Structure formats: structure tokens, C-alpha cells
Amino acid sequence: MDANAVAELEKAGVKVDEPDRLYVAVEWEDSKRVLPAGPRVQVRASEQLTHVTLQPISKLWTGDKQPPSFAKAPPPEYHPFFFVIEATAAGYCRAVRNTETDQEFERLYRHLLRRPDGTDRNPLFSYLQGAARLYMSLRDVSQAEFEAVVERLHQSAKHHQTHVGSINYFQDVLRGVLGA
């Protein structure tokens, strides 16, 4: 958790007690090119947009809590974490008018798991990072919990892949998140 980010969001009027109503919104350069999410991200809370400075993922890990098994389904207390990441992914695809493939989502989630503070050529990666950073700024999340959530997202994208170029993860999961 990051008290500075919480204070910054509260000052802007964002309800930080409802993280499942937030996501990282896409920012554009000259309305043509997507800007990668950096240390300062644009957060959407309903119709409200505000900016907040977020620390790197590795600086936001708190404690050593071990997550339960996500084999069947994530427990309800983890749903907001999933929602912030998946809402950001859905919002990104909707904003850029491009649905990433299941294979690309699988690759991005695997990369996020292996290099949480890394970079990638696909700007969506920075938005997935931004979403994790946003949630982890609002709630205490251990490294093990972060890894369990991202691994589950990776497995979900992999599970939905039926062929090269399939977009089932977007259609079956993300479309319902924001109506993307």
C-alpha cells in the first residue's frame, strides 16, 4: 500500500475503498499514438479521470501472506485485484480499437510475472503494470499474492486460446468487464 497514492486519489475525490470501480485509462499523444503508462498514470473512476503517481510493483509488495489455491476459482477477496487488471486490459483494447490475441495476453501476463518492473514493446504491458500498481497502492499485497493473481491471469488467457489468432479471452472474459 502507498499512503501517498491514496492521499493523491482521495484529494481528487476518488473513492479508494472501491478499487473494483477503478482502472488505468489510456493516454494519447496527439490523439494518434498511445503513450505507455509511466510512473504517473491516468485513473478512471466512473466518469472521473485523474492522475496519480505510482511506485514500481517491487516496491509495493507488503508482507509475506501466502494466497490460497486459485485452482478452482479465486476467492472473492481477490476479485477486485483481478477486476482492476482486467478492466484496464478491456479499456485499453476498446480505446485503441484493437483486440489483442489470446496468445499475446498469455505472453504479456507471463512477462508481467517474470519481470514485473520490466518493459515491453506492446504498450498494453505498461497498462497491465499500471493496473497492478494501482491496486497494490490501495491494498496490501504480498509478492506471493501478486504472483498468484498474475499466474491465474496467464492461465486464463492460455485456457481460452484455441488457435493462433483467437481472441476468446477478450470475448469471453474482458468484454463483460467494461462492456468492451
What is the model's pLDDT at position 177? Answer: 64
pLDDT at 160: 80
- Alpha carbons 98 and 89: distance in angstroms, whole number: 11
Residue 47 pLDDT: 85
pTM of the model: 0.93
The pairing of beta strand 40-45 with beta strand 22-25: antiparallel
Question: For residue 65, what pLDDT is reported?
Answer: 95
| Helices assigned H by DSSP within the chain | 3-11, 57-60, 79-96, 102-114, 123-138, 143-160, 168-169, 175-178
Rounded-to-integer distance, Cα 129 and Cα 109, Å: 10
Strands (E), the chain: 22-25, 27-29, 33-35, 40-45, 48-53
Residues recorded for the chain: 180
DSSP 19: G
Query: Tens of pLDDT along the chain (180 residues)?
Result: 999 999 999 999 999 998 888 999 999 988 789 999 999 999 999 888 999 999 999 999 999 999 998 888 889 999 999 999 999 999 999 899 888 999 999 999 999 999 999 999 999 999 999 999 999 999 999 999 999 999 999 998 888 878 888 787 787 777 666 554
